Amino acid sequence: MQYIGIDLGTSSVKLLLMKNDGTILSSVSKEYPVSYPKSGWSEQDPADWLRQTLAGLGELLETEHAEKSQIRGIGIGGQMHGLVVLDQQDRVIRPAILWNDGRTEQETEFLNTTIGKKQLSEYTGNIAFAGFTAPKILWLKNHEPENFEAVQKIMLPKDYLVYRLTGAFTTDVSDASGMLLLDVKNRKWSEEMLEICGIREEMLPEVRESYEVSGCVKKEIMESLGLSGSVTVAAGAGDNAAAAIGTGTVENGSCNISIGTSGTLFIASDAFQVDENNALHSFGHANGGFHLMGCILSAASCLKWWLEDILKTGDYQGEQQDVKGMGDNPVYFLPYLMGERSPHNDPNVRGAFLGLGMNTTREQMLEAVFEGVSFALKDSLEIARSLGIEIRKTKLCGGGAKSPAWREILTNILNLEVEILEAEEGPAIGGAILAAVACGEFSTVEDAVKSIVKIKETITPKPELAEAYQKKYLVFHSLYPAIKGIL
């Protein structure tokens, strides 16, 4: 049997074809634009997602190893938190407001202050962050009342794809957890949050587990793709939970770090946990359990910004060849190009280089970018450790994982063993695994990842270098309070 995994990302959709033994047969990627209509705003047209996904499916199914008669299931991992709203005729009312959009400062402040962080945590297990979906709904209500009145369906980006592919109006626990509308502990919509946002439960999708079936691909789409029989579509997962499945991060206390457009530290948990200040997100996991997650808004996007926008080069490999990661770089970089989420929850803070001198080199500034993103991830790691969670190693995925210099720097900054996978395909392979479970290929997600996920390499920290980075981290950790309100 063959399964299709889809990663609905911020800049592109990636599709891969997987055999039931986990072998990746082929993959396709299709790009689409992001719109920035105002400073701090980030939007996309959901029609672009659907058009490029269907085009990608068509290409994938024409690749050499695709056997159309063997296609059994599709699973999607998607960018989280985005607000997609449909009217009574199922038309998209306005462009989707994305996860990294920072327009909801007032609404986030209202939720955290007027409603109160304690109440929000009781209702959902989380507090409000500017990127979450509930503040976006309130923003729509406050600033576009005509659009708000027209809303009949509220969904997340990957759920829009599932809806168009199958007609099933569903979501999954992991993705719904990031809306600030779900009672995460009890895996159901929060009546209190629906009332606060002024919406009805029938506007929201049915909540399922990630490995459960949402529906089957519509007949007309099957025919257009040259498929026959029935193709099951799993409920899918938020991109970070899907990536965690793809890296085998399912056992209690296991950890995965993703360095994609954003950066995440993901810790699987059998039990529901909340840290004292809600600095980490407490979400459902795609295996039916829970997870804690710290998210920084800019990670590999910092590297892209520095190389392409500032240095005007696309030579990623050449620029990195002289970066050594020795722990003695005097330059600091704060990676807050789009504001920050974990642990600061500050959409207004901006990035900075500090420690520049007349002898500062190009290589030192690039090294500082790698270090700054790694230090920001360490902020979340230290909060997890404060909860008594013992973490000794982590899996690593995302575009940043392909950089040897960055991997080495991250390993020593976190002082963890870092495991590199044989097949690092992020949320797409996680989606394919969920599809295989939904179709009965495996009895559980845990069984699937034990069979499919393999470790290629383990990077071990160097004690002296880890100690040097720890000293530098203490300085980094002091910088945000110093520049808060200035940048």
Indicate which residues carry an active-site annotation.
Answer: 239
Confirm whether residue 293 is marked as ligand binding: no
Please say whether the beta carbons of 71 and 225 come within 8 A: no
Choose among 150, 40, 24: nearest CA to 87: 150
Structure tokens at 295: 């998210």
Q: Which residue has the tokens 């997962």?
A: 237
Confirm whether residue 80 is marked as ligand binding: yes
Q: How far apart are CA 6 and CA 157, in angstroms?
A: 12
Rg of the chain taking only CA atoms, in angstroms: 21
Helical packing angle, 463-483 and 362-386, nearest 10°:
90
* Helix extents (H) in 144-214: 145-150, 157-166, 173-176, 191-197
Choose among 138, 183, 166, 158: nearest CA to 81: 158
Q: How far apart are CA 464 and CA 468, in angstroms?
A: 6
> CA-based angle 461:462:466, to the nearest 5?
80
Query: Is the bond into 347 cis (omega within 30 degrees of 0)?
Result: no
Structure tokens at 487: 């940048």
Q: Name the binding residues for substrate.
A: 80-81
